[in-house]
Amino acid sequence: MPPPLPHPPRPCPSGATSAATAGATCSRSRRAGRWPYARARALAASGPACRRPAGRRRRSSSRSAICPGDKCNDLLVRNSSGALTRYDGSCGKAFSPSGPKLALGTGWNIYNTLTSPGDLTGDARADLLARTSAGELYLYADGGAGKLKARVKIGTGRQIYNSVAGVGDITGDGGADVVARDTAGVLWRYNGTGTGTLSARVKIGSGWQTYKALS
Q: Which residues bind Ca ion (CB under 5 A)?
A: 119, 121, 123, 125, 127, 142, 169, 171, 173, 175, 177
Could you give the dihedral angle defined by the CA atoms of residues 50, 53, 56 and 62, in that order, rounded to the nearest 10 degrees?
Answer: -10
Report the chain's terminal Cα–Cα distance, integer Å.
Answer: 18
Amino acid, res. 178: V
- Least Å distance, CB 125 to Ca ion, is 4
- Least Å distance, CB 59 to Ca ion, is 15
Rounded to 5 degrees, what angle do the CA atoms 197, 131, 97 make?
105
- Least Å distance, CB 68 to Ca ion, is 14
| C-beta closer to Ca ion: residue 171 or 197 | 171
DSSP 50-66: TTPPTTPPP-----B-S
| C-beta closer to Ca ion: residue 70 or 173 | 173
Alpha-carbon span 55 to 156, nearest angstrom:
28
| C-beta closer to Ca ion: residue 128 or 186 | 128
| C-beta closer to Ca ion: residue 16 or 141 | 141
- Least Å distance, CB 28 to Ca ion, is 32
